[in-house]
Structure formats: structure tokens, C-alpha cells
Amino acid sequence: MKEKLHNLGITEDATCCICVNTDENSEHLFFSCDYSNRVIDQIGDWLRIVLPTQNILHWRFNRNGSKTRKAIVDATINSCMHNIWRQRNSSKYELKITHPNKLAQIIVEDRSQNPFLSSFEQEDWR
Ligand SMILES: [Zn+2]
């Protein structure tokens, strides 16, 4: 990522493209950036679970729940990370960023358009 390139002297600026508060690395971008935390909090509210902002990868493989529920939560987390990464690129290259509330809404809407996820009953989603 950017920090690695920075260490190699390839780029001058290793600041997080989204919050511009701290150095960017994958740990920051997905787990401690305020922007990501706001998106993840909202997705957690929607799923009615508290999503950890730290160790989310460890958490997803070590929790209880039905297979269906796990599949839904995992697919949603994947979508979250994918969308946060896209926002990071959009901020960096196009100087545009979607409001975290709006992004959370897009993630939820995307999910309903996903054939895998839309094969489940509505009640399974929450
Ligand atoms: Zn940040």
C-alpha cells in the first residue's frame, strides 16, 4: 500500500486519503480510520450486531451463528471492505468521497442486488 511505497521513496505523501489524519496503511484504513468506523458501525446496526473495528478478520472465523447468518455477515463485511477501498481510491484520484451514511446505504442496497444474498429470506438478513 501507500505506506510501503512511501518507505521505498516512491511517493511523498503517505497520509490517509480519506481522513488526512494519520499515515495510511491497511490497519488504519479498515480498522481505525474514523470514516471506516462510521461505515462499519452503521452496517453493524443494520445487521443488529456490534462489529468489532479491531481484529475483524479473526472475529469472522471464530463466532457462533447459523451458516446462513455467517454467510450473510461475511458477504456484507466483504462488501464493506471493497467499498471502503473504492472510496479511498476515489478520494485519492478523483478527490471525491461519499458520505459514510450514504456509503453504508449503498452497501446494504448492493446486498439486495446480489443474487447470492437475495436467495435468502429477508428475516435471515437481520
Ligand atoms: Zn483515515
61 belongs to a structural domain: yes
Residue 103 falls within a domain, yes or no? yes
Ligand 1 mean position to 49 CA, how many Å?
A: 23
> What is residue 125's DSSP assignment?
G
Decide which of 114 and 31 is more confident. Answer: 31
103 CA to centre of ligand 1 in angstroms: 15
Residue 113 included in any domain:
yes
Burial of residue 93 (CB within 10 Å: 0-12, 13-18, 19+) is exposed
* Cα of 27 from ligand 1 centre, angstroms: 10
Ligand 1 centre to CA of 111 (Å) is 25
State the pLDDT at residue 22.
87
> Does residue 56 fall inside a structural domain?
yes
What is the average pLDDT across 71-85? 87
User: Could you give the number of structural domains in the chain?
Assistant: 1
pLDDT (mean) for 61-85 = 82
Q: Domain for residue 116, yes or no?
A: yes
Higher pLDDT, 116 or 101: 101
Range of the domain at 117: 26-125
Say if 109 falls within a structural domain.
Answer: yes
* Mean pLDDT (whole number) for 42-55: 79
pLDDT at 87: 95
If one compares 51 and 55, the residue with the highest pLDDT of the two is 51
Distance 52 CA to ligand 1 centre (A): 17
Amino acid 62: pLDDT: 66
- In this prediction, residue 104 carries a pLDDT of 93
Let me know if residue 2 belongs to a domain.
Answer: no
**Percentage, residues of the chain above pLDDT 90:** 26
Specify if 64 maps to a domain. yes
Distance 28 CA to ligand 1 centre (A): 6
36 Cβ contact list (under 8 Å, min separation 6): 18, 29, 30, 53, 84
Q: How far is the CA of 60 from the centre of ligand 1 (A)?
A: 23
Report the pLDDT averaged over residues 21-29: 87
